C-alpha cells in the first residue's frame, strides 16, 4: 500500500506538472472505490470548470486544491492498495481499471487506475473537507516541524497494544504503514511487538527520529515499489533497494550479520533482528 513517501512522490509530481487549465470533463467508472465509501458521496461534479492549484498531502491522502466559481474547492485522493494516479494526454489510450479521469482544457488528463479498487475519491468545499473525516481524524504529520518523541508518546504511551500496530494507527500518527514502521523500529533498536506503554522518553525520542529518517530517505528515493507503486509519470521508486529489513527475513542483518526473523502479528507480517531488537524485560529505554 502506498504510504507517506509514495503519496508524497505523487504529490510532488503533480505539483511539478503545473496543471492550471480548467476542468473540462470528468469520467468516473461505475465501480465503487472501497475506502471512499465511508466518506459520503464523492461529489466529483463540483470540480467541473474549476481551476487546479496547489497539491497538498495529509498522511496517505492527497488534497488537491481547486478554485471554483464561488468557492475554494478540494479533491481528496487515496490510492488504496494498488492505485496509480498518473498524467496522460487526452489521446492516450485508457488502461483497464481506469476509474477516474479529470480532463483539463489544455488537453492534459489525470487518471486513477486502481485494479483492486481499495482507493477513495471525494471533492467538495475545501474547508469542509479539511474539517471532516477522513482528514480531521488523522494524527500528527511525522515530518512536520515540532514532531518528536514527546508528541508520539502523548498519543501512544498509554497503549497496551504492540508498538508496530500502534504506529500503523492513523489516529496516532499520519502516513506510516507497515514498511516504514518495521524499518523505523529496526533503526531504533526496539522489538516491534513490545507494548507501547513500556517505552520511556528516550525510546520514544529514538523512535520519532528513526521514523523521520526512514520517511525522508524514502521520499529522496522516490518511494518504495514492491509491486504496484508508480509516480505520476509511471516510474517505479528506488527505495525498495534501500530497505534494511522489510521483506528480508532469513537474510543477514545489515548491522550485525545475524539472520533476520520474520513474524506475523494481527494478520500483518514484519521482520526484526533478534540481536539488535531483542525481547527485554521491564521498561524500554
Ligand atoms: Zn542485527
pLDDT in tens, the chain (285 residues): 899 999 999 999 999 999 999 999 999 999 999 887 778 799 999 999 999 999 999 999 999 999 999 999 999 999 998 899 999 999 999 999 999 999 999 999 999 999 999 999 999 999 999 999 999 999 999 999 999 999 999 999 999 999 999 999 999 999 999 999 999 999 999 999 999 999 999 999 999 999 999 999 999 999 999 888 999 999 999 999 999 999 999 999 999 999 999 999 999 999 999 999 999 999 999
Distance 258 CA to ligand 1 centre (A): 6
Q: Are residues 102 and 153 in the same domain?
A: no
Q: Are residues 84 and 175 in the same domain?
A: no
Q: Are residues 92 and 194 in the same domain?
A: no
Total domains in the fold of the chain: 2
Q: Among 137, 169, 202, which residue terminates a domain? A: 137
Give me 13's grid cell: 509530481
Q: Are residues 128 and 235 in the same domain?
A: no
pTM of the model: 0.96
Q: Are residues 211 and 186 in the same domain?
A: yes
Distance 124 CA to ligand 1 centre (A): 49
Domain around 113: 4-137
Q: Are residues 84 and 177 in the same domain?
A: no
- Residues with a catalytic annotation lie at 2-3, 60, 268
Backbone angles phi, psi at 73, to 5 degrees: -110, 175
Distance 260 CA to ligand 1 centre (A): 7
Q: Are residues 103 and 167 in the same domain?
A: no
Does any domain span residue 142?
no
Distance 186 CA to ligand 1 centre (A): 8
Provide the b/e sequence for 173-192 (b: ≥16 CB within 10 Å): bbbbbbbbbbbbbbbbbbbb
Give me 151's grid cell: 508528541
Q: Are residues 241 and 268 in the same domain?
A: yes
Does any domain span residue 125?
yes
Does any domain span residue 285?
no
The β-bridge partners of 88 are 109
- In what side-by-side order are the strands of the sheet with 108-113? 23-28, 98-104, 108-113, 84-89
Amino acid at each position: 500500500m502506498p504510504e507517506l513517501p509514495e503519496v508524497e512522490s505523487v504529490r510532488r509530481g503533480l505539483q511539478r506538472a503545473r496543471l492550471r487549465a480548467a476542468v473540462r470533463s470528468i469520467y468516473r467508472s461505475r465501480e465503487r472505490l472501497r475506502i471512499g465509501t465511508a466518506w459520503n458521496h464523492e461529489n466529483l461534479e463540483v470540480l467541473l470548470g474549476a481551476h487546479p492549484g496547489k497539491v497538498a498531502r495529509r498522511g496517505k491522502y492527497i488534497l488537491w486544491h481547486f478554485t471554483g466559481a464561488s468557492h475554494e474547492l478540494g479533491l481528496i485522493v487515496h490510492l488504496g492498495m494498488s492505485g496509480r494516479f498518473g498524467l496522460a494526454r487526452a489521446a492516450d489510450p485508457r488502461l483497464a481499471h481506469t476509474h477516474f479521469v479529470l480532463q483539463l482544457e489544455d488537453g492534459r488528463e489525470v487518471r486513477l487506475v486502481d485494479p483492486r479498487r481499495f482507493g477513495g475519491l471525494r471533492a467538495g468545499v475545501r474547508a469542509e473537507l479539511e474539517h471532516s473525516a477522513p482528514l480531521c481524524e488523522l494524527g500528527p504529520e511525522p515530518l512536520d516541524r515540532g514532531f518528536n518523541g514527546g508528541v508520539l508518546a502523548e498519543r501512544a504511551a498509554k497503549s497496551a497494544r504492540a508498538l508496530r500496530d500502534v504506529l500503523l494507527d492513523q489516529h496516532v500518527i499520519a502516513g506510516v504503514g507497515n514498511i516504514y514502521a518495521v524499518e523505523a523500529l529496526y533503526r531504533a533498536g526496539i522489538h516491534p511487538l513490545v507494548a507501547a506503554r513500556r517505552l520511556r522518553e528516550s525510546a520514544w525520542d529514538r523512535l520519532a527520529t528513526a521514523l523521520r529518517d526512514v520517511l525522508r530517505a524514502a521520499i529522496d528515493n522516490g518511494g518504495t515499489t514492491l509491486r504496484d507503486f508508480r509516480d505520476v509519470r509511471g516510474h517505479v521508486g528506488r527505495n525498495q533497494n534501500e530497505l534494511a529489513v522489510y521483506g528480508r527475513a532469513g537474510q543477514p542483518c545489515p548491522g550485525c550479520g545475524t539472520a533476520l526473523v520474520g513474524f506475523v502479528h494481527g494478520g500483518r507480517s514484519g521482520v526484526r533482528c533478534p540481536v539488535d531488537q531483542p525481547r527485554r524485560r521491564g521498561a524500554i529505554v
